[in-house]
Amino acid sequence: MSLSIGFIGLGNMGGPMAANLVKAGHQVKVFDLNQSVVNQLAEQGAIEAADAKHCASDVDVLISMLPASKHVKSLYLGETGLVHILAKSTLVIDCSTIDAASAREVGAELSEHGIAFVDAPVSGGVAGATAGTLTFIVGGADDHFAKAQPVLADMGKNIFHAGDIGAGQVAKICNNMLLSILMAGTSEAIQMGINNGLDPKVLSDIMTASSGRNWTLELYNPCPGVMDTAPASNNYKPGFMVDLMAKDLGLAMEAAQQSNSSTPMGSMAKNLYTMLQHQGAGSDDFSAIFKLFSKE
């Protein structure tokens, strides 16, 4: 079914996601503060919106993909927020990765105005956004999830209903905390092998076929030259930036504190990624943590 969809936030992830909605046959209005990315989407068949309010007007679905909680709340809430102009028939899908409390705050305010909302953060990186194979982790009511699912299926391969509003955010930061730990541990192990004379590709193959097997070894190896398709072999061009991983780990630490959870490995990963930021690698892919362990 072709829908009228507004899409706000056309960054490294949002741009390809919106393009896939156009390819699926939807009528897609797009807006971003960066006019060049709006122009690129318009060339692919999207409709250029003059501003966020125009983008959110008269649409079946509004999707937002923004950097942080403050941007999401500023977009939807307050005197100038979209909550005042959205039609009650519009389903709002926020794909940003933000703290669960902010997602619940936005959802509650929209609900008071009769507007359906789900939080649907994504996993899969730029490659997944481009290929349309993202994983969506959704929080919201059952009927709102059912309405969002076919739209998300045009941008992703795996769609999970994690629970009520905010649950998508919690599941996402749990996943990314584990991913950061795996990436740091994999980097540490490979570098130790190199330091002791092993070929990193051979070692990676051994660990992939053994009990150390994990996603970073199989699909996203952090050692340059081991995997041609990985950012490590392209000068750590993202991908998923160090700055974004550090942000997600900050959200994870906030959630851990609020729930009195013990996360020593997550805390260490947060410290390591903060160190990497301080070394000027914030815009590198998060697999660049390998450089912290390298002797070069």
Residue 233 gets which letter from DSSP? G
Q: Which residue has the tokens 């914030």?
A: 282
Distance CA 264, CA 172 (A): 18
Q: Are 107 and 166 in contact (CB under 8 A)?
A: yes
DSSP 8-state symbol, 55? H
Q: What residue has token string 């030259």?
A: 225
Catalytic residue numbers? 172
DSSP state of 285: B
CB contact at 8 A, 155 and 95 = no
The residue with tokens 């097997």 is 213
Q: How far apart are CA 82 and CA 182, in angstroms?
A: 39
Amino acid symbol at 170: V
Distance (Å, rounded) from C-alpha 105 to C-alpha 109?
6
C-alpha span between 29 and 47 (Å, rounded): 5
Longest dimension (CA), the chain: 64
Q: How many CB atoms lie within 10 A of CB 1?
A: 7
Which of the 8 DSSP states describes residue 216? Answer: H
The beta-strand segments (E) located in the chain are 4-8, 27-31, 47-48, 61-64, 91-94, 116-119, 122-123, 134-139, 156-163
